[in-house]
Structure 1
Amino acid sequence: MNDAILSNPKAPRVKRAAALARKKERHEQGRFLVEGPQAVRELLAHRPDLAETVYASTGTEPWQHEVDRLASDAGVRIERATDEVIAAMSETVNPQGVVAVARSWRTEVADALRGARLVAILHEIRDPGNAGTVLRAADAAGADAVVFSGESIDPFHPKVVRSTTGSLFHLPVAVASTLAEALDAARDAGLTSLAADVRGAELLEARAEGLLAGPVAWVFGNEARGLSEADRAMTDRSLKLPIYGAAESLNLATAASVLLYETAFSQRG
């Protein structure tokens, strides 16, 4: 641990960390920002090999002892910084006193899906909160991988990382340039691809057939447009989640969570 307190919000390393809010900088530096005690703890506990530096405030927050211990055990440098420095690095309006700079990684889609039984493919998902929430739900449901395809948001976007609350570090996350690339890898891995779409067949019929009990890759489309006809045609089946009440529809993250858990229940039944 560095005993000196980093106090200059305009220091070069502070500016470099703050620049990671931009995709171009993340790609050029090969790094991304992890904000908040929960996400930093999960980084240090599950992927300490990625952690480069932890910047923590000088206060006496409940999380500090654990973060210090995890960083020390992993051999990760931890630096004390003023609240102004933490705020300058953070993208959040109300930073929580700790940020980490981590090295980004690339997982090939085929490697991420090899041996998988439950996968979420996020195609053209643009909202970072939605992307992070679906990734977190996939992790909670025991999914084996998450794939971002097409023009989806960068999984290392600070808001995505934050909204996963650490799930980003629990399972393989890959990026495919096209949906076709992701689906080809899914088929090669023995997964049935299911498009989540309001124009699809009834989910309960597919469940009764036993379709959900086998290896499945769910494809979730753009928040506003969903999946195009061409996208749906590339999948093996299209299924819809029934609406029993008066709600017009469910948002992406809620629908994805239900479908992933429904599949997990079937696979474990």
Structure 2
Amino acid sequence: MTTDPDLLSNARSERVRSVRSLGRRAVRERQRLFVVEGPQGVRELLSYAGSVARDLYLTPSAAERHADIVGLAEQAGVRVRPCTDEVLAAMTDTPHPQGMIAVAAPVDVPLAEALAAVGDGFVAVLTNVRDPGNAGTVLRAADAFGASAVLVSDASVDIYNPKVVRSTVGSLFHLPVSVGTPVAELLAACQAAGLRILAADGSGTTSLPDADLSVPHAWVMGNEAWGLEPEVRDLCDDVVSIPIVRAESLNLAMAATVCLHASSSRMLLP
């Protein structure tokens, strides 16, 4: 590990501005870098994808509290850069980044590689999902319930948006994630891989308890406001609705969590 001997204390320095600029998608795509905030996210990055980590910025007090993370950085050969609270705050769009951030290279994989990992399992497909918190929560739910991969269409939010990364709480580094494929091409690839395509949509005539989740399948999730377009539903093998007792509807993240849990219960859990 190479450690800077000097505490970074100038919140207006070029280095600080450079890290801060990664909050913009165009900069992230050009530099092929993104930011991971907070101890939990950084710990998961270093534990599961340490080879893509580039720099760890943290305050002296955070270094004392999280010696295990410093140790993981050391094992991964990541440069540790001590800094003040003011510098850390200036690097991010959150007032309290919990004492540390890491800069890392992208972790997404090609679509074929993500599908190759499915086997007898299931995947989550995000089409036109624009809200960062929703996208991150779906990814976290997919991780929690044992999905083999998450496939994100080209029309969806950037998974390296800081809000997406924060809301995954490290799950971004736990399972294959593919990005950037047009929806029709994405669904065709899923079908070619032998997956049954299930649209999660309130208009579905198949109720979730009656859906066939015993075979490898893909859950297709739509936009927060308008759901799935008719042409996308037409590409799916079945359209599945979640039975609701009283509420008018479930939001995207809640609906995805329910569907992914159902798949987990049918396919993976005893």
- Is TM-score (shorter-chain normalized) higher than 0.5? yes
Distance 2:213 2:152 in 1: 22
The C-alpha deviation readout for 1:117-176, integer Å capped at 9, x for no partner, is: 210001100110000000000000000100111310000111100000000000011113
Give the aligned partner of residue 13 of structure 1: 15
- Normalising by structure 2, we get a TM-score of 0.95
Q: Is the 8 A contact 2:4 2:81 kept in 1?
A: yes
Kindly provide the amino acid, as one letter, of the partner of residue 135 in structure 1. L
Letter matched to residue 151 of structure 1: A
Counterpart-to-counterpart distance in 1, 2:157 and 2:168: 14
Alignment of 1:230-241 (within 5 A): 230-241=231-242
Among candidates 101, 108, 112, match of residue 103 of structure 2 = 101
CA–CA distance in 2 between the matches of 1:63 and 1:125? 37
| Runs (5+) with no aligned partner, structure 1 | none
Residue 194 of structure 2 aligns to a residue whose secondary structure is coil
Look up the equivalent residue of 2:226 and give its one-letter code.
R
Question: Is the 1:51–1:101 contact (alpha carbons within 8 Å) kept by the matching residues of 2?
Answer: yes
Alignment equivalent of 1:36, drawn from 26, 35, 38: 38
Amino acid at match of 2:7: I
Mapped partners of 1:253, 1:77: distance in 2: 36
Distance 1:39 1:106 in 2: 16
* Number of aligned residues: 265
The one of 131, 135, 158 equivalent to 2:162 is: 158
| 1:92 Cα deviation from its structure 2 partner | 1.1
In 2, are the aligned partners of 1:115 and 1:189 still within 8 Å (CA)?
A: no
Indicate conservation of the 8 Å contact 1:37/1:63, yes or no.
no
- Structure with the largest fraction of strand: 1
Provide Cα deviations, 1:227-251, integer angstroms capped at 9, x if missing partner.
011110011110000002x210111
Query: Where do residues 239-258 of structure 1 align in structure 2 (5 Å cutoff)?
Result: 239-244=240-245, 246-258=246-258
1:253 is aligned with what amino acid? A
User: Which residue number corresponds to residue 172 of structure 1?
Assistant: 176
Q: Percent identity?
A: 47
Q: Kindly state the Cα deviation for residue 181 of structure 1 after the two structures are TM-superposed.
A: 1.5
Q: Which residue of 1 aligns with 2:124?
A: 120
